[in-house]
Amino acid sequence: MRHELGHALADAWAEGWEVSLQGDRLRVRPRSPSTEPRGSEGPWRAFLRTHALDAIAELCGPCSAPQGDLDWEERAAILEHDAGLSRVLAERVAWLWR
């Protein structure tokens, strides 16, 4: 996933777009207000639409909960198993629900 995300972000940058986080959402905007981006619907945009939650989790970086927080660990495990989320995303969502 990281490899594909890296390619999607690099392709967006090469076409004149900046992808960043705004709160808990991905923000895609022209890198420079005075520059018109060269493309708008490249494969990178479709990838980010499809994998937005994983991309947000990766861009946020690691989250850490206190050792022994069994409620957090259990919520993350349930989200990973029942909802089919990646471990990173499940941990992030469980952390938000604490």
pLDDT digits (tens, 9 = 90+) for 48-94: 888 887 777 777 765 666 666 778 888 888 888 887 777 777 777 77
Alpha-carbon radius of gyration of the chain:
16
Residue 19 has pLDDT above 70, yes or no: yes
Q: Residue 97 belongs to what domain range?
A: 63-98
Instruction: Count CA within 13 A, CB hemisphere, residue 32.
Output: 7
**17, 54: one domain:** yes
For residue 28, give every residue at least 6 positions away whose Cβ sits within 8 Å of its Cβ, in sequence order, or none. Answer: 12, 17, 18, 19, 45, 48
pLDDT score recorded for residue 68: 67
Nearest Cα residue to 12 out of 32, 30, 25: 30
Identify the residue with better confidence: 13 or 62: 13
**69, 52: one domain:** no
**55, 92: one domain:** no
Number of domains in the chain: 2
**82, 50: one domain:** no
Residue 95 has pLDDT above 80, yes or no: no
**72, 96: one domain:** yes
For residue 85, give every residue at least 6 positions away whose Cβ sits within 8 Å of its Cβ, in sequence order, or none. Answer: 53, 79, 93
**11, 54: one domain:** yes
**69, 33: one domain:** no
pLDDT score recorded for residue 65: 60
**20, 49: one domain:** yes
DSSP state of 83: S
